[in-house]
Amino acid sequence: MATPFILINLKTYTEGFGHNAQKIAQSAERIAHENDVRIGLAPGYMDIHPLNVHYSLPVFAQHVDAVSPGAHTGHIVAEAVKAAGATGTLINHSERRLTLADVESAHTMARAAGLETVICTNNVATSGAAAFFSPDYIAIEPPELIGSGVSVSKADPEIIERSVEAVRSVRETVKVLTGAGISTGECVKTALDLGTDGVLLASGVVKAKDPEAVLRDLVSKI
């Protein structure tokens, strides 16, 4: 199995931008260094550059648009997030959903820019469909459990197992992340036992009183 990947989406939480993003990055860098685990952050766009400059962590954009550089206004271009220091990007998060055609274009542009890609999906069928684009990771996140505090790895392990099957039947090499409601080392262990390669989470870390303690717990059972 590949090194487990813990990707923390800072979303637009107040607790996840500016100085707060830096504090989480500092803890994440320390814990990744002390353990055999890869920890990445997906901050807001304004924090991509500072996090990339000050910390040795994979930094992901939360979204890129299906547009190439040129005469577009208010869009996020894959090449620009790469230039700002992002090493990867989420695509099609449930809170930033795209059409299938736009998922394909955004993914192609992210790849062309040299970004690592995580396509988020909401069910087994979209997980299988996304596998045809050969992203690095597919993150399966049932929308009703996002931000709920109820872990998908406990509430709906079947969707994880069936997504892994759907993805692997299309592309053996695509890795899968478990997302929604993840907040403890037990959730991470279950996600790995279900055949996934790590987790995508947000509120469990970002909204915690002590994000570093949660990060330590997340890696404790790997």
Give residue 12's Cα distance to chain centre.
14
146 binds ligand G3P (CB under 6 A): yes
Q: Which residue is nearest to ligand G3P (CB)?
A: 203
201 binds ligand G3P (CB under 6 A): yes
Q: Which CB sits closer to ligand G3P, 79 or 216?
A: 216
Exposure on the CB side of residue 91, measured as CA atoms within 13 A: 35
Region for 209 from its dihedrals, namely left if φ exceeds 0, alpha if ψ lies in -120 to 50, beta otherwise: alpha
Specify the stretch interacting with ligand G3P by CB under 6 A; choose among 47-55, 109-117, 156-164, 196-204: 196-204
Q: Is 202 annotated as a binding residue?
A: yes
Q: Which residues are catalytic?
A: 93, 141
> What is the distance between the alpha carbons of residues 59 and 169, in angstroms, rounded to a whole number?
29
200 binds ligand G3P (CB under 6 A): yes
Window 167-186: residues binding ligand G3P (CB under 6 A): 179-182
196 binds ligand G3P (CB under 6 A): no
Q: Is 198 annotated as a binding residue?
A: no
Q: Which CB sits closer to ligand G3P, 167 or 214?
A: 214
Q: Which CB sits closer to ligand G3P, 72 or 222?
A: 222
204 binds ligand G3P (CB under 6 A): yes
Q: Is 203 annotated as a binding residue?
A: yes
Contacts with ligand G3P: how many residues (CB under 6 A)? 14
Binding mask of the shown chain, residues 1 to 30, with x at each position contacting ligand G3P by CB under 6 A: --------x---------------------
119 binds ligand G3P (CB under 6 A): no
Render the chain in DSSP notation, one character per residue: -PPPEEEEE-TT-GGGSTHHHHHHHHHHHHHHHHTT-EEEEE--HHHHHHHHHH--S-BEES---S--SSS-SS---HHHHHHHT--EEEES-TTS---HHHHHHHHHHHHHTT-EEEEEESSHHHHHHHHTT--SEEEE--GGGTTSS--HHHH-HHHHHHHHHHHHHH-TT-EEEEESS--SHHHHHHHHHTT-SEEEESHHHHTSSSHHHHHHHHHTT-
Query: Which residues contribute to the site for ligand G3P (CB under 6 A)?
Result: 9, 93, 141, 146-147, 179-182, 200-204
Which residues are annotated binding-site positions for substrate?
9-11, 146, 181, 202-203
Which residues are annotated binding-site positions?
9-11, 146, 181, 202-203
